[in-house]
Amino acid sequence: MNGIKRALPVVLPMILFALVVKGLYGAFFEAPTEIQMGDVQRIFYFHAPAGIVAFLAFGVTGVASFLYLWRKSLIFDVVAYASAEVGLIFCTIVLVTGPLWARPVWGTWWTWEARLTTTLALWLIYASYILVRRYTDNRDQQARFAAVLGIVGALDVPIVYRSITWWRGLHPVVLKASGGGGLDPEMRSVFLFCIIVYLTLYACLMAVRIPIGCAEDEIAGLREILARRRRA
């Protein structure tokens, strides 16, 4: 068992690296070229999976935040915080790759259409979530304030997802490599693989961040005990 624990920090990055290389190869060489947008559409294989994993991460933050408010267990706050940080990374990828895709297709880097605006709002909510935790030194107060924002942000996720259905926008609904409708089968296979890559990256980052969060809580607890003893 100890041998496995020692091997995991080496083996997991190697597996992740292999998945990333395969995903890049699939996106640039295996997937067919979209007939309307051309090669720039290949950003889709990075943009959309990042959005899906960001949704997952913020959903985990929302659920963990609710559980923290209900059960008052700091482990739920640690999970919520870790997932919010990782989710913010993926949401940033979405907001960076989106304009890179939009500029040659729409002729502009940014437009205030529904999907872009709600995604930016989602990013701002979770950026505020991170900042709120530095608003006070009181650990419980930090967790309560952040939990409320974590739940509010999670409620924005379905709005972002349904935005192109509820409001007219520029986001493509159908991608084609030929004359047929729907996502081309070869595109779909590469897309699904890229989702697996991003999910694996999310899991690896969470596996690293959660123990760090637990250690930070232990250190904070020891500091509080020392502060009480000094006052006494």
For 36, the enclosing helix (H) or strand (E) is: none
**C-alpha separations of 219 from 64, 139, 216, 225 in Å:** 22, 12, 5, 10
Gap between the Cα atoms of 123 and 105, Å rounded: 24
27-41, 85-99, 188-202: least confidently modelled range: 27-41
Is the pLDDT higher at 107 or at 97? 97
Give 106-152 pLDDT, tens digit per residue: 778 778 888 888 999 999 999 999 998 877 777 788 889 999 999 99
Give 4-39 pLDDT, tens digit per residue: 556 566 677 888 889 999 998 988 888 888 787 888
Domain residue spans in the chain? 21-27+34-231
Token digits of residue 102: 């939009």
Gap between the Cα atoms of 16 and 204, Å rounded: 8
Q: In terms of pTM, does the model score above 0.85?
A: yes
Gap between the Cα atoms of 57 and 48, Å rounded: 14
